[in-house]
A and B are shown apart, each in its own frame.
Chain A
Amino acid sequence: MAIKYLLLRQFRNYLEEKIEWHPDLNIICGANAQGKSNLVEALCYISCGSSYREAKDQEMLGFGQDFFYLEGLVEKGSLKRTLSVGFGADKKKLWRLDGQPQKKLSQILGVWHTVLFSPEDLQLVKSGPANRRRFLNREMLQLYPEYYLSLNQYQQALSQRNELLRQSRNFGIDKELLRAWDDNLTTLAADIFKKRQKVIARLSPLADQLHRQITQSEETLNLGYESFLPEEKIAAMSQAEIKAAMLAELETKRREEMARGLTLVGPHRDDLLININGFAARQFGSQGQQRTAALALKLAEVELVFEETGFWPGLLLDDVMSELDTKRQKQVLELMVGKVQTFITHTNPEIKLVCGRKFLVESGKVRPLKGA
């Protein structure tokens, strides 16, 4: 799967640019603040319908402009699909697939999968559990759109239950009512536990293999799911059994939950464990190890998308190459280029090019550079 061209109209600092991409490797060079990341943002937007920089649609309008428009041609084998999105100042967004208006974002997701790796992702291993949960959720949403509903319903039930706990601090507890919310919450939670555990179990061997290839060592990387139940139990138990276990756990935490007005058990408190040689990389890994583990995790995501969909996703590397040493840079390129269409931003236009195309970005203008 590859994107053939991308057209940007009044998007951020681009007035009108059409870029013909190379099917293997694209290196986007340019000094700071010229629009390299804006280009990556546009690619990401047309792939997953939102900015990875968590910007609002409004913020992506060109300066003083009242609409933006992106269009891309995606090739999946012999199949060609035109994907476009326009956003106007009236805050209306229109997606089109092959010219046909699409009402639901879920029709767009997956037309062109991408995996993005940004400098923040390098912090994935070191940062707090919330970031790793976000990583997990985002990844699962791309692959399994129905996970969105489970997650949404769970969050709704969680807010309701927390509110009930808070109210009961002042007005006393209605045990029967709380039990109804427990029942509701645990059903939704069991579904999420199971789905997450399955994805992590598939991601783990992929990440391990890639990690060995990048480091060229015997260090093992393995991923786990940290929850109130051991991971093996989540894997072995049925949803009904997990639900029962969580109900029992809530029972033991009741007093503390009431005092704090918070739900203390559930997917919203869990973590993705990243172990190197059996030790938690978050606590015991060196900076270098942590970065490499994050990289392996992201590349594993690429492999997982392939396993699930049968197509290689696009790989967007925004500002991360300069964060890796030359040996790691080479490893990444060797692993990915040739099978995955890769996009890399780099400040140095002198960077060597083995294959593919190089572009120079200067204040919102993109031009291909000749030679390597």
Chain B
Amino acid sequence: MVYYYPESMENLIQQLTRLPGIGPKTAQRLAFHLLSTNEVDAFGLAQAIATVRKKVKRCAVCANLTDEEICPVCRDNNRDRQLLCVVEQPKDVLMMEKTREYRGLYHVLHGAISPMEGVGPNQLTVGLLLERLKQGEITEVVMVTNPNVEGEATALYLASQIKPMGIKVTRIAHGVPVGGDLEYADEATLAKAYAGRNEL
């Protein structure tokens, strides 16, 4: 009879293969590692997965990931509560936070409008956003969606919904990376940056 891994091992490898960026070989390596490493680490990982799945949910206000009902950012009274930044993914919030420049609130859409993938406004957290804006505290919404075709369409759609409420809608600029050399910017980015030039 040909040898196979024990069924539970096969199962683990199968499960790992479903993860993004993991192929059969890596899955096998990870499975062996989990088996040979000390028990505390292995169960720690299993526990961490179980906890994150149980605890983390979307914030009732901004839809960002949190393990509380309302996330710390939304509760933070030191922030500018009139300014709202709309992003596609939770990781974009982290990027904006790293700037240390932006001190307003956030709203996470969890995607962008893409008819080809069957994603429209109803699949995103657009309803929640519009409800939030109706309360009237926010005076400016900044669109920080990706600078691709879908991100652009999402920004345009949201702008058309928000502007009639009398709220200012802005979009981040496209341009060349700061601190780098011009020669490292690609032609398209440079062309965009040129189109959006500012007077000195």
A residues contacting B by CB (< 8 A) are 106, 145-146, 148-149, 153, 156-157, 159-161, 163-164, 167, 174, 176-177, 179-181, 183-184, 188
Q: Is the CB of B115 within 8 A of A106?
A: no
Q: Which of A153, A157, A161, A176 contacts B157 (CB 8 A)?
A: A176
Q: Is the CB of A160 within 8 A of B150?
A: yes
Q: Which of A145, A156, A164, A179 contacts B149 (CB 8 A)?
A: A156
How far, in Å, is B198 (CB) from chain A's closest CB?
Answer: 19
- Residues from chain B with Cβ under 8 Å of A180 in the complex: 113, 153-154, 156-157, 160
- Residues from chain A with Cβ under 8 Å of B116 in the complex: 159-160, 163
Q: Which of B31-86 contact A (CB under 8 A)?
A: none
In the complex, which residue of chain B has the Cβ closest to the Cβ of A149? B188
Q: Which of B108-138 contact A (CB under 8 A)?
A: 113-116, 120-121
Q: Is the CB of B187 within 8 A of A174?
A: no
Q: Is the CB of A174 within 8 A of B120?
A: yes
How far, in Å, is A188 (CB) from chain B's closest CB?
Answer: 8
12 A/B residue pairs, CB under 8 Å, sorted by A: A146-B187, A146-B191, A148-B188, A149-B188, A156-B148, A156-B149, A157-B149, A159-B116, A167-B115, A174-B121, A177-B157, A183-B156
In Å, the complex CA distance between A179 and B153 comes to 9
Q: Which of B150, B160, B186, B188 contacts A176 (CB 8 A)?
A: B160
How far, in Å, is B112 (CB) from chain A's closest CB?
Answer: 10
Interface assignment of B152: CB less than 8 Å from any CB of chain A: yes
In Å, the complex CA distance between A18 and B100 comes to 59
In the complex, which residue of chain A has the Cβ closest to the Cβ of B118? A167
Interface assignment of B170: CB less than 8 Å from any CB of chain A: no
How far, in Å, is A239 (CB) from chain B's closest CB?
Answer: 9
Interface size class of B (residues with CB under 8 A): 20 to 34
Q: Is the CB of A177 within 8 A of B113?
A: yes
Q: Is the CB of B156 within 8 A of A184?
A: yes
| Extra pairs beyond A106-B187, A157-B153 (12, CB < 8 Å) | A146-B187, A146-B188, A149-B188, A160-B115, A161-B115, A164-B115, A177-B120, A177-B121, A179-B157, A180-B160, A183-B160, A188-B149
In the complex, which residue of chain A has the Cβ closest to the Cβ of B151? A184
In Å, the complex CA distance between A149 and B152 comes to 15
Q: Is the CB of B161 within 8 A of A176?
A: yes
In the complex, which residue of chain B has the Cβ closest to the Cβ of A184? B153
In Å, the complex CA distance between A177 and B115 comes to 10
In Å, the complex CA distance between A330 and B94 comes to 68
In the complex, which residue of chain B has the Cβ closest to the Cβ of A148? B188
How far, in Å, is B169 (CB) from chain A's closest CB?
Answer: 13
In the complex, which residue of chain A has the Cβ closest to the Cβ of B116? A163
In Å, the complex CA distance between A291 and B38 comes to 77
Give the 3 A-B residue pairs with the shortest CB-CB distance, closest first.
A180-B157, A149-B188, A163-B115
In the complex, which residue of chain B has the Cβ closest to the Cβ of A144? B187
B residues contacting A by CB (< 8 A) are 113-116, 120-121, 148-150, 152-154, 156-157, 160-161, 186-188, 191
Q: Is the CB of A160 within 8 A of B160?
A: no
In Å, the complex CA distance between A179 and B157 comes to 8
How far, in Å, is B118 (CB) from chain A's closest CB?
Answer: 8
Given A106-B187, A145-B187, A179-B160, check contact A160 B114 (CB 8 Å).
yes
In Å, the complex CA distance between A157 and B115 comes to 10
- Residues from chain B with Cβ under 8 Å of A106 in the complex: 186-187
Q: Which of B149, B156, B186, B188 contacts A160 (CB 8 A)?
A: B149
In Å, the complex CA distance between A148 and B148 comes to 14
In Å, the complex CA distance between A145 and B120 comes to 33
In Å, the complex CA distance between A12 and B122 comes to 53
How far, in Å, is B151 (CB) from chain A's closest CB?
Answer: 10
In Å, the complex CA distance between A181 and B153 comes to 6
- Residues from chain B with Cβ under 8 Å of A174 in the complex: 120-121
- Residues from chain A with Cβ under 8 Å of B161 in the complex: 176
In Å, the complex CA distance between A82 and B99 comes to 44
- Residues from chain B with Cβ under 8 Å of A148 in the complex: 188
In Å, the complex CA distance between A145 and B189 comes to 12
In the complex, which residue of chain B has the Cβ closest to the Cβ of A179? B160
How far, in Å, is B114 (CB) from chain A's closest CB?
Answer: 6
In the complex, which residue of chain B has the Cβ closest to the Cβ of A188? B149
- Residues from chain B with Cβ under 8 Å of A145 in the complex: 187
In Å, the complex CA distance between A183 and B113 comes to 14
In Å, the complex CA distance between A125 and B170 comes to 47
- Residues from chain B with Cβ under 8 Å of A161 in the complex: 115
In Å, the complex CA distance between A176 and B122 comes to 13
In Å, the complex CA distance between A164 and B100 comes to 39
Given A145-B187, A146-B188, A164-B115, check contact A153 B149 (CB 8 Å).
yes
- Residues from chain A with Cβ under 8 Å of B156 in the complex: 180, 183-184
Given A174-B121, A179-B160, A180-B160, check contact A160 B153 (CB 8 Å).
yes
Q: Is the CB of B152 within 8 A of A184?
A: yes
In Å, the complex CA distance between A106 and B191 comes to 15
Q: Is the CB of A184 within 8 A of B160?
A: no
Q: Is the CB of A184 within 8 A of B149?
A: yes
- Residues from chain A with Cβ under 8 Å of B120 in the complex: 174, 177
How far, in Å, is B7 (CB) from chain A's closest CB?
Answer: 35
In Å, the complex CA distance between A167 and B117 comes to 11
In Å, the complex CA distance between A177 and B157 comes to 6
In the complex, which residue of chain B has the Cβ closest to the Cβ of A158? B149
